[in-house]
Every structure is written in C-alpha cells, then in structure tokens.
Amino acid sequence: MWGKGRNALFAGLIGCVNLSLFASFAFAQSYPVKPVHVLVGFTPGGLADVTVRILAPQLSETLGQSIIIENRAGASGAIATARVATSPADGYTLLLTTSIDVTLPALRKLPYDLERDLASVSLLGIMPYVLVVPASSPAHNVKELIELARPGKLSFGSVGIGSQAHLSSELFSLMTKVNMTHVPYKGGGELAVATATGQIDMSFGTIPTVLPLLGAGRLRPIAVSVAQRTSLLPSIPTLDESGLPGFDGSAWVGVLAPAGVPKEIIAQLNAAIGKVVNTPKMKESLGKQGLEPRTDTPEEFAAFIHSELDKYARLCKSIGLKVE
C-alpha cells in the first residue's frame, strides 16, 4: 500500500513540476502581450534617459509592443531601482541601470540588494571618460602628470562626491600614489571649462563634454579610462597602456529586471536588445552620446555587475568614502 501511495505521490509531484514548467514556457512564448515599462532613475535629458529614448522605437518594433519610459528621479537613481526590485517578476517592468547602481551600495544603506533583488538582462554600452588637462599644462602623458604632482598636490574636479568622475580620479590617485585635492562642480560642462581655464589640474570628462574644448585646443587628452582603446577616440591611449595596469573607471548603462523573471523572457529581451543595439545606425546614434555600444549575455552582465560592486566597495573602503 505504501509503495503504491508513494509512487502516486511522486507522480503527482512530477506532474505539478511539469505543469509549472509548461505554464512558465507558455507564458514566455506569449510575451509580451502588453506595453513594457522602462524606469529611468534620473530626470529627462541625461545619458540614461537619452539612451533609452534612442533605443525605445526600435526595441518596440522588435518586441511588437510599446515601450513606456518612466522617469523616477531621486536618491541618485535608487528610487527607480527600488521600485523595479519590488515589481512583479513578469518582464513588464525593467530598469535602465547605470554604473551609479554599483557605486551606491558602497556609499549608503539601500532598501534592496542589487544582485539578490534584480536580474541581469544585458549591458547596452560603455561610456569612456577622458583624462584631460589644460592645454597650457606641461604634462603630455600620465608619467609627466605624475611628475608634475611630485612637488605638491594635484587638484582634480568632478561633478560631485561619489560620481563616476570622482571615483575614477580617486582610483587614479590610489594607483599612482599621488596626493590629490578634490574640487566638485555642478555639471560636466562647468567641469570641462574649469579644467580648460586652469582652475584645476586635471579631470575625467565624458567625450561629449570635452570634445568641443579638445577641438578648440583648450584641453589636452592624456588617456581614456576604458580597459581597451575606444573606437570613439582611437588615437588616445588607455590608462592601462600608460602605466596603470588594470585601470578601468568607465561609466556604463544596461538593463535589469526584477529577480524571478522567467529565463525565457530574459533571453528574449536580451536577444531583442542585441539586435537593436548592434545595428550600424544605432551604433552611430549612441556614439554621438559618447557611448560605445556593447551587449553581452545575461550571465556575462551578472558577472560584470558582481565585479563592479566588488571594485567600488574596495575603492570606497580604501579611501574612507561614505555618503549617508
């Protein structure tokens, strides 16, 4: 009797599992059947917002549904991230994530865990920073810039404490063992002008903000912050090439979903993003924003996020940086 009952129980459990798998597969097969919402944690006009608005029409066409963009600015993007982290795991609420999401956990307490509560979909692109100095500076490369700092302090600017430009500069200071003074500015344009006029010795700027001043001969590029040379400025060496092995302090954008979204839906979204981002027209459009298009698999993006979280946790701890 027990043998028959046990077999029946096992058969019932297997049936339930199969039914659950079938339901998940059927749900994924019909996805999407309604508009997909993409939350952006910043006000309209910034890199994250512009990026998703460039992608949205083609992504909508590929998925066969409308893409609704919602700007939920505040707390350096944490409000939007928290909202997506607690959204239904059905693939209809996504987050346009940025590199700020991996620095925030090192700076303050958050109501979510980026790796536990969110699922990686795809990287969209990397934004290289350009290390620039005033055109009047005697430094023409990293070695000369370091030597310039030896007699005293080197001043650098950023767009605020905890910003990518700030952390890239702190990483530079840590790796070169150069004592540097931080001067925060309100925006990238103001930062670029302050560097060009010699108010500060150096800064890490985005390509769109520094390019006009580079073209006018008011700024001199020293190196780019990416691990490999960027196609956007192929003649400028990386910091890795310039004597700082392993230096990578770039900004980036990608897509996350709530944890628990079926893998079939994640894979469908990943394929759609890859199809849209890697077209020549889209690469050109994103390049104008200073973004080098780059997609990957969900697993690769998850590993990338893990390494970025670890990198900035160690950096912020080493310099004693905490923002509450």
Domain 129-224's class? alpha beta
User: What does the DSSP 8-state code read for residue 294?
Assistant: -
> Could you tell me the two tokens for 34?
């309604």
What is the Cα–Cα distance from 312 to 171, expressed in whole angstroms? 9
Closest CA to 98 of 37, 137, 139, 47: 47
Helix axes 207-215, 188-196, angle to 10 degrees: 30
Helix axes 263-277, 280-287, angle to 10 degrees: 80
What is the Cα–Cα distance from 1 to 100, expressed in whole angstroms? 61
Neighbours of 168 (CB within 10 A): 24
CATH of domain 33-127+251-319: 3.40.190.150
**Percent helix, percent strand, percent coil in the chain, to nearest 5:** 45, 20, 35
Residues of the chain with CATH 3.40.190.150: 33-127+251-319
pLDDT confidence of residue 151: 77
User: What does the DSSP 8-state code read for residue 237?
Assistant: P
For CA atoms 184, 185, 191, 194, give the dihedral sign. Answer: negative
* Contact by Cβ (8 Å): 178, 149: yes
Residues of the chain with CATH 3.40.190.10: 129-224
What is the Cα–Cα distance from 131 to 153, expressed in whole angstroms? 17
What is the Cα–Cα distance from 29 to 9, expressed in whole angstroms? 30
What is the Cα–Cα distance from 30 to 262, expressed in whole angstroms? 12
What is the Cα–Cα distance from 258 to 1, expressed in whole angstroms? 45
pLDDT tens, residue order, the chain (324 aa): 444 554 554 445 445 444 444 444 555 568 999 999 999 999 998 889 999 999 999 999 999 999 999 999 999 999 999 999 999 999 999 999 999 999 999 999 999 999 999 999 999 999 999 999 999 999 999 999 999 888 788 999 999 999 999 999 999 999 999 989 999 999 999 999 999 999 999 999 999 999 999 999 999 999 999 989 999 999 999 999 999 999 999 999 999 999 999 999 999 999 999 999 999 999 999 999 999 999 999 999 999 999 999 999 999 999 998 776
User: What does the DSSP 8-state code read for residue 21?
Assistant: H
Residue 150 buriedness (CB in 10 A; 0-12 / 13-18 / 19+): exposed
Over the Cα atoms of the chain, what is R_g? 23
* Contact by Cβ (8 Å): 204, 158: yes
Q: Which residue has the tokens 């597969």?
A: 25
Residues ≥6 apart with Cβ < 8 Å to 91: 31, 32, 36, 257, 261, 262, 265, 266, 269
212: left (phi over 0), alpha (psi -120 to 50) or beta: alpha
